[in-house]
Amino acid sequence: MIRSFRVLAAGVGVALTLAACGTNGAAKAEQDPKAPLELWARTTPGGDGEKGMKKLAAAFEQATGQKVEVTAIFDDFETKLAQRAAQKDLPDIVMNDSSQLGTMVSQGIVREVDLSAIKGSDQLLEPALAAARAADGKTYGVPYSAQASALLIRKDWLKKVNLPAPTTWDQMVTLAKAFTTQDPDGNGKADTYGLAVPGSTKRGYASWYFSNFLWAGGGDFVAKGADGKYKPAMSTPESEAATKWFRDLACTSKVIQPGAATMDTPPANETFEAGKTGMYVVGPYLMPRFDSSLGKDKYEVVAMPQGPKDSTVLAEGGSVYLMAGSKNEAAQNGFASYAISEAGQKVGMEGEKAFIVQLPVNKNVDISTVRPDPRWKLYADVYKEHGRYAPSVPNWTPIRQSTADTVNALIADCGLDLDSELKKLDQKLGDTLNQQGIGAS
């Protein structure tokens, strides 16, 4: 799967912005309808993500005759994209996270999408399409995949502690304590914990994970007013209560794994599959891995427990970005159209591991027809009923990073004063919002 929570280095951002000046203001490139498409995917070379992208590209080529050259890049993706931008020779297509839309638009490296030229765009689920709209109300990406968070629980541990899967936050804490103190793996050692938490500041992971709890608690990172302007919201009573509840998992009940504040997702994943943690809030993309490494019979998937407000969870996805300066815009549109078509969505979902569509964004595609496993249907239902994307602001990355820094500090240092830390965070968020021109006066 494509994940890109990396904060752009200042130099990279400047390079892209400077390069973009030429693409935004320049005349449309001379078109060549026979020119092959160069597609960049932010995924590991040689991995399942690359295989899935190549499978989709091959299906598109077979259906249309249009050549597509796929390049998978993970390390230094932004730097390499900056280099191509500086040369005014961007790839035609970039497959990247929907959350990167604001950053890419602000860099001027993507072109606006004319939805009338994207066949089947009227069949896209509205939440996914809304996530492709930038702060100016224009569309700059074509969503091809969606996902949302659910709760994975060790099924065998539930039986050991004789408790049901939680449906409320209180029940979740009770279960987490039981997993931590009642030796659910039966090895006679105090080496298990209730909840896996990727609490690192890297790529804003702490904020990314915490959003599932913040929103369900009625809080928010930033709040949009009736005038369309935003104000910081992390020191509101609802946000403070949700933050305290999350922090107490580390500082009071002590039910999250040791070292959580230094972990991003890879080591956090390992704690769950190695039998060190009993619950994990994740998207559907990890099920094939855990089915293989842990065993499908060892865990179950349930909807997130009800918070003080509701069961809202983070929704995400991937988008097809049509890069500026392409010599074959018709083929760009054609590829995006195929990726969201019923045929393209099914190709993207097929396979045990080499799939790139987590949940379909085409409302006519029933995930159960491709993946009869009811766990996938549960994820699809959670996405439709409880999923929420990050706001469409000019650049979400610095907001995510600032909140991650504070959440990380609060779970790493239990002596910090929560109220003062959240107020300092809101000051930072206010400055960021003002810098982006969307701060409330």
Is the pLDDT score of 320 beyond 90?
yes
The count of other CB atoms within 10 Å of the CB of residue 122 is 10
Our measurement of the distance from residue 127's CA atom to the centroid of its chain's CA atoms, rounded to an integer in Å, reads 14
Query: What is the per-residue pLDDT for 430?
Result: 98
Query: Residue 162's CB: how many other CB atoms inside 10 A?
Result: 8
Q: What residues does each domain of the chain span?
A: 10-147+316-388, 150-314+395-435
CA pair distance 372, 350, nearest whole angstrom: 12
Rounded-to-integer distance, Cα 304 and Cα 172, Å = 10
Residue 4, pLDDT > 90, answer no
Are the C-beta atoms of 161 and 179 separated by less than 8 Å?
yes
Q: What is the mean pLDDT of residues 65-80?
A: 94
Average pLDDT, the chain: 93
- By percentage, how much of the chain surpasses pLDDT 90? 89
Q: Which fold has domain 150-314+395-435?
A: D-Maltodextrin-Binding Protein; domain 2 (3.40.190)
322 beta partners: 93
Greater pLDDT, 345 or 25: 345
Q: What is the pLDDT of residue 27?
A: 64
Confidence of residue 401 (pLDDT cuts 50, 70, 90): very high
pLDDT at residue 16, rounded to an integer: 45
| pLDDT for residue 6 is more than 80 | no
Structure confidence at residue 187 (pLDDT):
97
State the architecture of 10-147+316-388 in CATH terms.
Answer: 3-Layer(aba) Sandwich (3.40)
- Is the confidence at residue 5, as pLDDT, over 90? no
**Among 25-29, 181-185, 195-199, where is mean pLDDT lowest?**
25-29
Report yes or no on whether pTM surpasses 0.85. Answer: yes
CB atoms < 10 A from the CB of 232, how many?
27
418 φ/ψ sector (left φ>0, alpha ψ -120 to 50, else beta): alpha
Query: pLDDT tens, 360-388?
Result: 999 999 999 999 999 999 999 999 999 99
Q: Report the pLDDT value the prediction gives residue 318, as an integer from 0 to 100.
A: 96
Report the pLDDT value the prediction gives residue 24, as an integer from 0 to 100.
46
Sheet holding 299-302, edge to edge: 193-196, 277-282, 150-154, 299-302
Distance of CA 323 to CAs 32, 35, 79, Å?
15, 15, 16
What does the alpha-carbon distance between residue 150 and residue 148 come to, in Å, rounded to a whole number? Answer: 7
Side-chain-facing half-sphere of 235: CA atoms under 13 Å: 16
Each residue's pLDDT tens digit, 8-57: 333 344 444 444 444 444 568 999 999 999 999 999 999 999 999 999 99
- Per-residue pLDDT for 71 more than 90? yes
Question: 23 vs 261, which has greater pLDDT?
Answer: 261
C-alpha distances out from residue 273 to 134, 154, 222, Å: 38, 10, 34
Higher pLDDT, 146 or 74: 146
Q: Is 337 left (phi over 0), alpha (psi -120 to 50) or beta?
A: alpha
Q: What number is the average pLDDT over the span 177-187?
A: 98
- In order of 60, 351, 373, the CA distances from 296 in angstroms are 33, 17, 11
C-alpha 280/C-alpha 152 separation (Å) is 5
d(CA 193, CA 347): 39
Phi-psi category of 203—alpha, beta or left, where left has phi over 0 and alpha has psi -120 to 50? left
Do 10-147+316-388 and 150-314+395-435 fold alike per CATH? yes
Q: Is 262 exposed, middle or buried (0-12, 13-18, 19+ CB in 10 A)?
A: middle
Per-residue H/E/C for the chain: CCCCCCCCCHHHHHHHHHHHHHHHHCCCCCCCCCCCEEEEEECCCCCHHHHHHHHHHHHHHHHHCCCEEEEEECCCHHHHHHHHHHCCCCCCEEEEEHHHHHHHHHCCCECCCCHHHCCCHHHECHHHHHCCECCCCCECCEEEEEEECEEEEEHHHHHHHCCCCCCEHHHHHHHHHHHHHCCCCCCCCCCCEEEECCCCCHHHHHHHHHHHHHHHCCCCCEEECCCCCEEECCCCHHHHHHHHHHHHHHHCCCCECCCHHHCCHHHHHHHHHCCCEEEEEECHHHHHHHHHHHHHHHEEEECCCECCCCCCEEEEEEEEEEECCCCCHHHHHHHHHHHHCHHHHHHHHCCCCCCCCCECCECCCCHHHHCCCHHHHHHHHHHHHHEECCCCCCCCHHHHHHHHHHHHHHHHCCCCCHHHHHHHHHHHHHHHHHHCCCECC
Average pLDDT over residues 89-118: 94
Residue 244 banded pLDDT, cuts 50, 70, 90: very high
